Chain A
C-alpha cells in the first residue's frame, strides 16, 4: 500500500488534478493545477511550496560524528559550522558517485543528512569503532520547501528568525506551537527555504504557511514544476543526470564528481588528515587528467531551432516540459561528443536549455555543439552553445 506524507491530508484537498506519482514509496503530487507552468511561475515570481517529505533523513550523532562524516562524504564537512548546511556527495572507492544530499550541522556532534535513496546500512557499515550513532528518522519529520522571491517575506511573518538566515544557513525556531528547523535550502535555484517539522505538527505548520502566503500569491507546486526549476538552476538529479554507482552495471553509467562538474566540492582533497571514501581514486583522476566528461550547460541557438521546425512546416515547439530521454550532441564533423541528460524550454530564459555531458575537449564555455532533435520523424541537428551552470542564477538566491 502506498504511503502518504504528513502533509498529504491537506495536499490532497489542494490537488485539482488527482495526479500523483510514487516517490520513495510515497504519493507525491505531479501538479496541483492543470498548468505546471503556472506553478513554475509561482516559484519564479511569487512563491510556491513543495512537499519534500519522502527524502531519507538520518541523524548522525556522537563524539566522532564529524570525523565519521568527514570520512564518508567527499566534501569536507569539517568546514561546515553549526547552523550551516552543505550540499554534499559521497562516492565509492573507485571515485564514482554514489549519491548526493544535504548535510545540516546542528552542533559540534550532531548532523542530519538527507538523501534520495536509503543509506542507513551503508553508513552504519562504515562506523567501525567511532563513537557515532546513525538513526533513520525519515518518517518522523515532514519537509516543506517554500521557494520563490516572496518566500522570505512569507516565512518571516511566521518566524522572524528566518529573515536573517544566510544561504545554506539553518535555525531551530517555532512556527506557531511547533518546534521546527528552517533552512535556506531548496532545489529550485531561487530564494527559498525548507521547513523540517515533526510529523505530528506537519499539518498546522502547513496551514500556517498557506495562510501567511496566500496574500503573496503562494501556491503549491508539484514535481513537474520542480523539475523545470532545477534544470534552470543547474541542480543535478539522480537517475537523470547521473546514476548511483552502486546500481550501475557498467562504467558508462557511472560518473565521478569531477566529471559531474563538482570538482569544487573536493577542495582540500590533498589534505592527508582527511582520508575519505574515493579520495585516492579521485586524486589519481585529477592528477592524471583522466576525466571522461565535463558537465556543462547548453543553450540552443534560437534561430537555428526556429529554422529546422519552420522549414519542416511546423510551429517551433517551446515546451517547458523536460524531455525524459537523452539527446545526442555532435561536433561540426558529425562526431559524437556527448549527450544532454536534461533538456527543456526555459520560460524565464526564453531559450531551450539543457544539462549536458560532453567530452572535456568540448567543454569550453562558448563553444558550439550540435544537438540532435527529431523533426518530422527525421534527425536534425541544431546549434547550441556550451555555457556555465547554473543557467539561471538570480541574485536573490544568495542575497
Chain B
C-alpha cells in the first residue's frame, strides 16, 4: 500500500480538490474524493489532524482527549467504505453509566437489563418498566430519523425533478411512520427534554441522568423547548448495532482521527500540516483554488470547506460575492458555545464513599447532573452570562477502558462541563479560566471526597480556547447550535443545505451542515457524493 505522510509543504501546485481543515469531516470527505480517483490535498492549520477530535500528551505519560471525548454517532457505512478497521479502528465498549447523587446515593446502570431494572427500582418501582417503554419509544423514533442522517436533505425550494423526488421520498418516509412514532418525533424535535421525560419517569435521579443528554453542547436547559432535539440526537448514537450505546476509541478520538488520516492517505490523500488557508480564490463566480497564509497559491477545480459556516461564508470568501439573504442567515446563525472541558491527570481512581473501594463504576460515563432541577439551575447562571456555580459534568475516566491512556495505576479523567457561555458578562475567559477550573474541581470534590489530592495536572479548556485552538466559532462544539431552525434543510441556511455554495466548485462539508456535529462523519461523506455527482455532470 502506498501511503503518504503528512507534510509541511504541498507537493504540487495543482489538485483536483483541496479540502480546508483536517477535522474528521474534512478527512472523511477527502478520503471519499480520493477513493473516487481525485487528487486531493487536505490543508490543516495545526501540527496534527483531527480538529476537535484529537488526543494529546499534555502531561508526561497521560493522554488527553482535549476536546471531543467519545464515539457514538459515527456512521457505520464510513467504517466499512473507508476500510477503517485495516487502519486500526477500534471502538471499545463503555459498559456502564454512573450517576452520583447529592445525598451520597447513586444510580449505576450496566449492560444487564434485569440488573438495571432492579437498580432503577431502588429509586422508583414505577420507573423500571417506564425505562423499557421509554427506550422502545425512542428507538422507534431513532429508526424513523436515522435514514435522514444518511441522505442529503431535500431542497424544499427546488423544482427540479431530483428535488421533487427527494421531497416525495421524505413525505413517503414520514407518511409511512405509525402516527405515534411521528408524533413522538415531533414532540422530541420541538419540545423540551423535561416534558418528554416527565411523561415516563418520576425519580429525580433517573430524570436528571436522562435529561443530561438533552443539554449537551447547547445553550438550553432541560426545561427549555429545543432540549428534546438534543436528547434525540444523543439517543441516535449507535455502537455495534445498539442505539444509545457509546464507545471509546482506542487512543481516544485522536486515535480515531489518526486512523481516518491513515485511511485517507492510503487512498492517496495528501495532508499538509501547519498551513492555514487565507482565502479561497474565485474567478467569474467559480472557485479555482486557495491562497495559503504564506502567500502560496494552489489551484483546484473543487474547494471544500470543512470549517464552520461563519468561516466558510464570511471569512474564506468575500461575503459580497454571496446572495444577501445567505449572508444575513449566516450572520445570525447561532453559535454561542456554552460547553467547556476540564481534563485531569489523576494519581488514582476517585473514591465514591457509598461504593467503598469499587472502581468499576467508572468504566463508562459518570454523570454529575442528579436532577433536572440541578441542570436547570446550572443553566440559569448561563442565561445571565455566567458559568454555572454547580455545573453539569459528563466525566469519563478513559484509562479505565483503555489503559494506554495513562501510566499503570494512574488515570486520565475527561470532564465535559456545562454551562460555560462564550460571552461572559463583565469578565472574560482568560481572567476566569482557573477560577472556573476551581469551580469544577470543587463540584467533583463534593461528590468524591479527596478528589483534589489525586490531581496531578489540570487542563481547563474554555469556549474561547476551543475557538482559538480548533477554530470553531464561539467555541460551539457542533459548529453551530442544534436548534430546529438550524437543522436539516435549514443547516446552515435555507437553500444551501445540500453542501453546495453559491460559488461554483466551492463546497461545505463541516459539522455546520446536515446532520451536524458530533464525530459522525456524515457531512463529509454526503458532501463528497454531491461533489462527485457535480463533477460527473461537468
Contacts and interface: CB of A to CB of B under 8 A. Distances in A.
B93 A37 contact: yes
A21 B76 CA distance: 35
B89 A350 contact: yes
B162 interface: no
A35 B93 contact: yes
A306 B403 CA distance: 33
Interface stretch (B110-118, B209-217, B298-306, B321-329): B110-118
Interface in A180-217: 214-217
B385 interface: no
B525 interface: no
Nearest to A217: B403
B243 interface: yes
A38 B93 contact: yes
A309 B55 CA distance: 36
Given A37-B111, A316-B241, A347 B93 contact: yes
A30 to B, nearest CB: 13
B39 to A, nearest CB: 28
Contacts of B536: none
A298 to B, nearest CB: 16
B80 A350 contact: yes
Nearest to B111: A35
Contacts of B250: 45
A209 B69 CA distance: 31
B93 A315 contact: no
A319 B241 contact: yes
Dominant secondary structure of chain B at its interface with chain A: mixed
B136 to A, nearest CB: 12
A348 B85 contact: yes
A317 interface: yes
Interface string B130-149: 00000000010001000000
B501 to A, nearest CB: 31
Given A34-B110, A315-B139, A215 B402 contact: no
B95 A317 contact: no
Dominant secondary structure of chain A at its interface with chain B: loop
B241 A349 contact: no
Interface string B235-250: 0000011110000001
A312 to B, nearest CB: 12
A46 B241 contact: no
A113 B122 CA distance: 52
A11 B434 CA distance: 46
Contacts of A46: 402-403
A217 B79 CA distance: 27
Interface string A19-52: 0000000000000011101100100111000000
A216 B241 contact: no
B92 interface: yes
B227 to A, nearest CB: 25
- A34, A37, A150, A302: which has the most chain B beta carbons within 10 Å? A34
Nearest to A39: B95
Interface in A203-247: 214-217
A216 B112 CA distance: 26
B111 A38 contact: yes
Contacts of A33: 95, 360
A310 B485 CA distance: 30
A34 B111 contact: yes
B409 A215 contact: yes
Given A38-B363, A45-B404, 9 more contacts: A34-B112, A35-B110, A37-B93, A41-B401, A45-B403, A46-B402, A318-B241, A345-B241, A348-B90
